Structure 1
């Protein structure tokens, strides 16, 4: 069978309920001899109550209709099922339905038949809760108006005293947390994976100090079922459905959209699809399955039925859960044509963004990777995580960046590339021309960030790389946020950054942490009062303890972190109230953003530019344009106060951002002094000046 040419176009894979009350189950499975459907009790997913061979139809689709006279049950709602598949070589394997819409509670173990069981559910049932409606980008003025907030469902509430902490339910019941997000001003939350993953005991939800039952979720098990470990009620197959719907509805009610982190590049192990149909779902090199991701077998997105699975899954979460966007993990392993087809399938209103590292097992001309601009699928509003900005502003891994005083060539020039959203056709001698840093045809292809779930948090990065007091470190955090939110493109913030998110690994945690060697220390660290005498900070906490990963909400009461929170919120408000900080097209960036001081003695440590705020008028619901026709932004990365001179500095300019405050209200009590032709700017500071229209 040529899998590249095969496509079943029906929309009835998985479970459907027929009008006569019977239940139909269909599955695509070529290259096998037979499938036996096993039905299990709704009261005990281990108790087999009925088995029957499925019928092979055209196009290698197998089907069965379950009738009362055969099963003995009028209604199969909440019953569980799996497949027993006979392969061509005579071996028999248990298999999970790839289109299962919910599952039995799962516990990973060494049993070779432990592959998980699907649940027979109706998404239209009252038990499934109220179906959300996707808002997509409709709360934005343009796609570059997005300010996303990445968060793991569990981390959001596991550290507080709330019932069902760490679950969808606790998230939407934590009103103080929702209010925090709303007040901060973010437009969307981006959840780490919430599709069912393999390596957690779904019933083990207690607070875990030393680690063992925690995972970020990059170990996919099923692409249609919400993860039961994140649900307060994992036993009832409707529990996870209703709780996720409630959470999306709650966020939408507060004007916040929802983006899902999705992992279609690999699955946890090859049994998940090979047990069902050998050689049909995974990328093959000869007789071997590719393990190029390093995280599991690679899905072959170029096979039409795999591409269909991906697109059906995405559309399912839009239609049934009101999801507004998707972040694609290791997107370089998904082919370009699949990404184009995804955009066609989901429409123009859904946010799409992904990891586009130059890391793939595809031919480079088929892989959507950053820096290969001739091959990248431009003009479909697909943003890439921009490590050029992260690494130049803040420093790569253990290195220092512009913010910590590293001005080695070409760091400052790469920073300027980030300022312009990394568009390819902006011409200025002070901006890097390296195609890896100038990869975007449009600013909506650039997702700007300083930290994300993998890597050091912003606070830890500065703690490890800068020798200074807590107050001085907080100043650098504000400076880095000032650079981030005045850069063109889209923006994503790691959840908790605004209150000093940290990932400390204590000595008692190290023996049980699976990646203890990825926690680092340095001669510069200060000890934070609320975490004790801890010297190591994690940059790969995918299976660490709750102590490492949780958001420490009590930090909001610390004046230092409260100041960062207010500063971050002020920057977000300024960005959203002024189109100039987020132009929607490359043409407008070229027209509206002009660098100054590029020939100044301080040009290696100062980045300055003007912004025309009259070019666009794109504002989200409830957001009004502030009355400034022009802005001047200056980033002083030196460790001294500077007196800069340029004709663009005017005495009538108002200070909106300095080293202490940020927002849309002019700052009166400030150390920034602006006169006609000169600016006095403090050390390690982003300054934004505005001229009223």
Structure 2
């Protein structure tokens, strides 16, 4: 809510003040693309400078300034006249216009001014000031708002609203107030009176607390709580025993959406479906998670569970699609039409639209006000099932500029050179390179770790964060101890999307938390190289039938012209083979392949295929919530007449490349069960219908639920329609259960030997090799002598071809046998894998991954 006042007028009508092209980077320096011979100043209050003028003189940017602000390195530096230095602090609490004039004083150019740099300089002490709500009994509230002219606390209760004055600390720019015990449990907001560049005047914004620990339904107001209160803890919370921690390179991670988990599970009471409380039921889903944990799964990764903006938190406010969708034809457009009609108000969204970073989402609670205790109950339920919990966090953007910007206009969001908000992240991008936004990230993470016992964090679009910000998170977590904080922060894993794009690409603004940038830090990044080589092509192909190692490129062409000539297919298969080999090493940049090339010397779309310094730097996967599920990708890419049994084998083989690689293994929930989203490649707002996770195989796998939503998929409908209509592509229980069994075997094999978690680049280089293999076959050999108490070596053969293959076994003493897990597999095909001691040759059936051990 905003009310307005005035802040001075303009006398120059032609000046464009809708942009902010001048950058006030510290108390002494403004950077602006202007001619140095002109006269420059900062006019306070408007173009006329009716509230004062800060004179500027030409200078140059120092090396430190160029390093800190690389995108401004070519700008003209303008130095604040020392005689006007006393005006700086007050100037920032009103309108500031940069003005260039000729020698006669005629205005030549005028623009708004970007102020994050000077705020970080002037209010550096705010970096350690207490912020947000604190106090178990007597509450204290503190808000950083250095440019505000006034901040008041609005308290809500049974008698309406009361307003309390807040005191400003001039050194930090923090406004604070101390209350009484009666305030606990009450709703509150801040009334921030501040100059708004967007409005062009002083306004009063009523805002929630960016450090909120609790909020009312839909995040309308903050609520004062102590997270130590017994009422907010489920039974046994303070005595919760966690599963044993593992380093990232030993982690196996299952990516799961809270609502997907139980919304379609009839074994969960209806009132608890789609909520945190479903993780405390003895349901089909929980039984399956416990079984996966027994197989060797270590972590469940939850898609966003912080307070998000796009799902109504009260059930009564939601509208779901009409019933009867299951009765419609499998290739019909009507399902997606029905889902689209209610998408804005239904119960589903992935949740990458943050509202309050440090509050659990209320739509996943049985009632919004129960969110904290029920969220903790979910964590406890997963921990008791043998699984540690990872949160998907999204600090790179907010749902809109209305979340943070009204508090300190122009600060929390990354601005482009002209002052407009960067949106390369999809939405209003934040600026963690600014001290207080970066601090908000760290403080929020620490709160989730200490008070919700979260075991890991996955950072969305992590490449839009500075590397320094992620290292600050790591440092803050490492300082948490069981005695002091109730958690061992060193056991908390960190990973994320290290993509390099947008206005920050190539280090344009700072050293980024990208794949290459984080090498050697132990903070993992997703390996898209192996993903694309296994699946084939890339996520944005016009023709989705481009084949890869795991989708038929090796001997099962699908006839698409996108795959090229036979010679081109063979060349691409060879290239994919090297990408996969590098991926199996943990994407090591200095691993030398049999070809003699290092991982860093192999190209992936013009970038080094190998980028990691060690296996803790990488997360290996073949599918995730983004893009088509693995089953759907194979539906497009495998030849249409591929039997379901062979589809299962290729699904298992593709998953094996992630599970048996060095580094963290990551799988999208349901891929072990052939999960389909009916070919939807971006199901973020596709409702429960297209996002169903079906634990009962009699319900199918989700394929044939209708054409995927028109938005984002219509260009692929011509490819999708005949596939969805084909009943041969809808797996039965035998197929679903076979895939689940193969995945369980892979997890047990991964957990059975240190061969798949060697732990360091040096050990990987010393022990791991790739014996020569036939086209369409990759052989991986690990020398485990002195490392594994049972076996001296482990050899894996990935045969992606439609024919059995013979693979030479590296010479060594001892008996070679099929891995004991596969030796008793209910898959008769893998049991045909054999070793001939007379020739030293392994035989592996078609479309099979076989693991051999030497004792």
Contact persistence 2:265–2:285 (CA under 8 A): no
- Which residue does the alignment assign to 2:3? none
Could you tell me which of 435, 439, 455 is aligned with 1:324?
A: 455
- Which residue does the alignment assign to 1:76? 183
Contact persistence 1:143–1:584 (CA under 8 A): no
Contact persistence 1:596–1:608 (CA under 8 A): yes
Rounded to whole Å, the distance in 1 between the matches of 2:760 and 2:242 is: 20
Judging changes above 3 Å, is the alpha-carbon distance between structure 1 residues 357 and 25 closer, same or farther for their aligned structure 2 residues?
A: same
Rounded to whole Å, the distance in 2 between the matches of 1:317 and 1:664 is: 41
Rounded to whole Å, the distance in 2 between the matches of 1:123 and 1:540 is: 41
Q: Does 1:104 align with 2:216?
A: yes
Could you tell me which of 845, 848, 851 is aligned with 1:682?
A: 845
Judging changes above 3 Å, is the alpha-carbon distance between structure 1 residues 56 and 4 closer, same or farther for their aligned structure 2 residues?
A: closer
By percentage of residues, which structure has more helix?
Answer: 2
Could you tell me which of 310, 316, 322 is aligned with 1:199?
A: 310
- Which residue does the alignment assign to 1:611? 782
Cα displacement (A) at 1:652: 3.6
- Which residue does the alignment assign to 2:179? 66
- Which residue does the alignment assign to 1:274? 405
Rounded to whole Å, the distance in 1 between the matches of 2:396 and 2:424 is: 8
Judging changes above 3 Å, is the alpha-carbon distance between structure 1 residues 254 and 539 closer, same or farther for their aligned structure 2 residues?
A: farther
- Which residue does the alignment assign to 2:59? none
Q: Does 1:124 align with 2:228?
A: yes
CA deviations over 1:327-360 (Å, ceiling 9, x no partner) = 0000011011111111111113210001011224
Q: Does 1:14 align with 2:125?
A: no
**What SS is found at the alignment partner of 1:440?**
coil
**What SS is found at the alignment partner of 2:217?**
coil
Contact persistence 2:767–2:783 (CA under 8 A): yes
CA deviations over 1:416-453 (Å, ceiling 9, x no partner) = 11111110111123465325310000011110001001
Judging changes above 3 Å, is the alpha-carbon distance between structure 1 residues 490 and 541 closer, same or farther for their aligned structure 2 residues?
A: farther
Could you tell me which of 647, 662, 672 is aligned with 2:833?
A: 672
Alignment of 1:471-550 (within 5 A): 471-504=645-678, 531=702, 533-534=704-705, 536=707
CA deviations over 1:212-259 (Å, ceiling 9, x no partner) = 22211110111111110111120x2xx111011111112222321111
Cα displacement (A) at 1:681: 1.8
- Which residue does the alignment assign to 2:279? 171
Contact persistence 1:453–1:494 (CA under 8 A): yes
Contact persistence 1:417–1:438 (CA under 8 A): yes
- Which residue does the alignment assign to 1:461? 633
Cα displacement (A) at 1:492: 0.9
Contact persistence 1:39–1:51 (CA under 8 A): yes
- Which residue does the alignment assign to 2:139? 23
Judging changes above 3 Å, is the alpha-carbon distance between structure 1 residues 333 and 419 closer, same or farther for their aligned structure 2 residues?
A: same
Rounded to whole Å, the distance in 1 between the matches of 2:474 and 2:242 is: 13
Judging changes above 3 Å, is the alpha-carbon distance between structure 1 residues 668 and 657 closer, same or farther for their aligned structure 2 residues?
A: farther
Cα displacement (A) at 1:16: 2.5
CA deviations over 1:184-228 (Å, ceiling 9, x no partner) = 131010000111111110113686562422211110111111110
Contact persistence 2:700–2:733 (CA under 8 A): no
Rounded to whole Å, the distance in 1 between the matches of 2:527 and 2:711 is: 19
Rounded to whole Å, the distance in 2 between the matches of 1:561 and 1:413 is: 31
Rounded to whole Å, the distance in 2 between the matches of 1:663 and 1:583 is: 26
Judging changes above 3 Å, is the alpha-carbon distance between structure 1 residues 480 and 223 closer, same or farther for their aligned structure 2 residues?
A: same
Contact persistence 2:771–2:810 (CA under 8 A): no
**What SS is found at the alignment partner of 2:381?**
helix
**Larger Rg computed on CA atoms:** 2
CA deviations over 1:78-126 (Å, ceiling 9, x no partner) = 21111222113321222110011010001xxxxxxxx721011111111
Could you tell me which of 221, 238, 241 is aligned with 2:355?
A: 221
Contact persistence 1:127–1:242 (CA under 8 A): yes
Q: Does 1:148 align with 2:253?
A: yes
Could you tell me which of 274, 278, 301 is aligned with 1:190?
A: 301
**What SS is found at the alignment partner of 2:253?**
strand
- Which residue does the alignment assign to 1:620? none
Rounded to whole Å, the distance in 1 between the matches of 2:712 and 2:273 is: 19
> Number of matched residues?
626
Let me know the Cα RMSD of the aligned residues: 3.2
Judging changes above 3 Å, is the alpha-carbon distance between structure 1 residues 413 and 302 closer, same or farther for their aligned structure 2 residues?
A: same
Q: Structure 1 stretch 679-688 or stretch 448-457: which is displaced more?
A: 679-688
Contact persistence 2:781–2:793 (CA under 8 A): yes
- Which residue does the alignment assign to 1:298? 429
Rounded to whole Å, the distance in 2 between the matches of 1:295 and 1:194 is: 19
**What SS is found at the alignment partner of 1:102?**
coil
Q: Structure 1 stretch 313-322 or stretch 75-84: which is displaced more?
A: 75-84
What is the TM-score normalised by the length of structure 2?
Answer: 0.68
Contact persistence 2:350–2:685 (CA under 8 A): no
Rounded to whole Å, the distance in 2 between the matches of 1:631 and 1:32 is: 65
- Which residue does the alignment assign to 2:593? 428
What is the TM-score normalised by the length of structure 1?
Answer: 0.83
Q: Structure 1 stretch 572-581 or stretch 173-182: which is displaced more?
A: 173-182
Judging changes above 3 Å, is the alpha-carbon distance between structure 1 residues 79 and 564 closer, same or farther for their aligned structure 2 residues?
A: same
Rounded to whole Å, the distance in 2 between the matches of 1:147 and 1:513 is: 24
Judging changes above 3 Å, is the alpha-carbon distance between structure 1 residues 513 and 14 closer, same or farther for their aligned structure 2 residues?
A: closer
Q: Which runs of 5+ in 2 are unaligned?
A: 1-88, 90-117, 196-200, 323-338, 479-489, 554-569, 691-697, 714-729
Rounded to whole Å, the distance in 2 between the matches of 1:133 and 1:673 is: 50
Cα displacement (A) at 1:664: 9.3
- Which residue does the alignment assign to 2:264? 159
Q: Structure 1 stretch 220-229 or stretch 427-436: which is displaced more?
A: 427-436
Q: Does 1:383 align with 2:539?
A: no
Judging changes above 3 Å, is the alpha-carbon distance between structure 1 residues 664 and 156 closer, same or farther for their aligned structure 2 residues?
A: same
Rounded to whole Å, the distance in 1 between the matches of 2:248 and 2:287 is: 24
Rounded to whole Å, the distance in 2 between the matches of 1:180 and 1:479 is: 21
**What SS is found at the alignment partner of 1:217?**
coil
Could you tell me which of 399, 404, 414 is aligned with 2:551?
A: 404
Judging changes above 3 Å, is the alpha-carbon distance between structure 1 residues 370 and 513 closer, same or farther for their aligned structure 2 residues?
A: closer
Contact persistence 2:248–2:524 (CA under 8 A): no
CA deviations over 1:268-316 (Å, ceiling 9, x no partner) = 1111111111122111234524324342222111111111111010000
Judging changes above 3 Å, is the alpha-carbon distance between structure 1 residues 583 and 81 closer, same or farther for their aligned structure 2 residues?
A: same
Contact persistence 2:376–2:452 (CA under 8 A): yes
Cα displacement (A) at 1:262: 0.3
Rounded to whole Å, the distance in 1 between the matches of 2:289 and 2:129 is: 37
Q: Does 1:315 align with 2:315?
A: no
Q: Which runs of 5+ in 1 are unaligned?
A: 68-73, 107-114, 520-526, 543-554, 618-624
Rounded to whole Å, the distance in 1 between the matches of 2:288 and 2:214 is: 31
Cα displacement (A) at 1:127: 1.1
Contact persistence 1:196–1:220 (CA under 8 A): yes
Rounded to whole Å, the distance in 2 between the matches of 1:687 and 1:103 is: 52
Judging changes above 3 Å, is the alpha-carbon distance between structure 1 residues 342 and 530 closer, same or farther for their aligned structure 2 residues?
A: closer
Contact persistence 1:573–1:664 (CA under 8 A): no
Q: Structure 1 stretch 222-231 or stretch 433-442: which is displaced more?
A: 433-442
Q: Structure 1 stretch 22-31 or stretch 311-320: which is displaced more?
A: 22-31
Q: Does 1:343 align with 2:465?
A: no
